[in-house]
Structure 1
């Protein structure tokens, strides 16, 4: 996300910065070069014209297929959404929940619409204390007994730290990038991921894979690992692996690149005039590296790149960018998420009912933070019933989301967070030591 937005202890000490980092750098460089320059074989088309997933995940597991087969149409549409719910407790009655979901508590909203996940924010009243967040996440999972939730947070560290002051104050990406040591990026991500898991949060909308090449950029800046695509690629790949070390899912953002803007996509629609060759050289490598490291999610950017798609649509709604570049050229077959749909950058051209439908048709699987949830849900459901979004296309996205959940142990039974354990894990002496190490190594 841009600035509005995206239960196990960390193990061991930070990896040595020498030979291990060198091997990691070499592996990332190789993966980046391969993914960025070699387009995979074109995916086969389904009878309705939608693209089948690339070969590496063309066959979902039997467990995923069994869950998919039992789902109603309404449940499948619900899986595509990750809204904000309001309140500190799953049973908190809130006028915001009533207005947005027609259900007065977070738990009732989840039970009514069965979304694929929810995202937590302090401004929504979700983050008060360690024990409160644990009770909230456990209660939300209890409200979704058939298919566990993805519970997300926008915890990049540094400038974007939605769970401060509960979690360790880890340095932001630019400070980590200044160390020149990918092993520290990995360790920082592992620490953050382990703290999120202890709270019952299983998806972090991180790392930022943008290359901050415009010094006037008002929205990325220190959130990026730096201005050199090769260095950013190494750091991003290491961070993805660190989150995975903790069992936390990752979302590399903001595709196809938000680093060369002087407009904030929260308040306007940025235009980046990179040619395809410039994009390949400047923007693509960190995303290719994230894909090589098996990021679970790639988040779209609400930016226009007219030389990649002349339609004038933001990338979130662009099939040439999300399907043509991300899926076909870079070979990503995981979940594609929108950036927050309440941001001005995606709302300027189309209404709040059209945006989610267009996003799915462009290649999106997960619709994040629609400003009017019921309007968005009803629009997607109607588009499926009318055939505008085919049943095959809907199943494609749901299958990807269920596959992600299976990979993170969330398909059949959600883990139950332990508040006592969480209090020991968060801001532990070991974790604060990692933060101090990074600060001391930055140069």
Structure 2
């Protein structure tokens, strides 16, 4: 049980575990955005305080020297995001007030994308604690969904209340506590669970699936996977369904590249695909079009937002971007330009500099995890996390949702911890 798992755990591990285990309690209070935004900085302060109080013995390597080069790359890249923000604000004369507000937004968004991997790398966090916490959080979705289905069946509204914590600032959707929402096109119930909107719940279901599969206790593992599956199904996210079904087979296949049987199978499959290329292509294209046509209004808005973002980025602010998000015209339902897509949003707000500041560390981390996945179970999960992040960056703005998927970023950092890498490599050598 949790008491055994937390035996001799550090204060940081306890904070992480109870933050995960109490996910739905925090959500009902409307505090998910605050928890995710504050947690990373709180853990950093605890680490700094611990180092300051204890000091570093002369015979011990300083903790900062043990940080993975990839984690340093994330830190530098997210600081580059801040630089792009400041330069764009100065260039476009947005004023001191707007600059301060945007900097605070950076600290609650892009900064956390580097901060949680840094914490996972610095702190000696037991990955079993993160896995158990995610299992509890994921399984908590089941009773939440049952209550929501009951309310919907009785014709009761899914909206509960708007948390007064919204006064702190952030996207209003993050403080809107509800059992379910309504699909604007079909008017059927659609669950967003702990996320601000339903597609983001699909994103969380994929992360929960990957991490819950690393739980060693079979009962908790099954409950976690069940919860993640319920989240994915009821979110009705088209991208979520596809990624959820494909992610585990992809990770298994990509983590077995050292196995000669995989290459033999690849040698058989590729020629077969070439021979069947035309019908496979037509089937994939037809499936893709059917998915897009299932919600034509949403597809139209996304495509129009993308065109506006690209045109205005190229014509108005190609290097540093516009600095701030701007509402679009009526044709896109006044949604922010660059929303629903991390890369278009980056180009519009932070220009080519911001685009590269995410693309470079994400690409190198994905490649590194592909290599490390051949030796480490932790890295296999991190490889899946990288794949999900890359895939969902085409449908969501990653910095907006970091307050809910921070456990995945923390796991990335844990898998890059030198001690964990050494253990994984040693086990592979011993098995060989």
Q: Same fold (TM over 0.5)?
A: no
Larger strand fraction of residues: 1
Please give the TM-score of this superposition, normalised by the length of structure 1. 0.25
Greater Rg, structure 1 or structure 2? 2
Larger helix fraction of residues: 2
Please give the TM-score of this superposition, normalised by the length of structure 2. 0.25
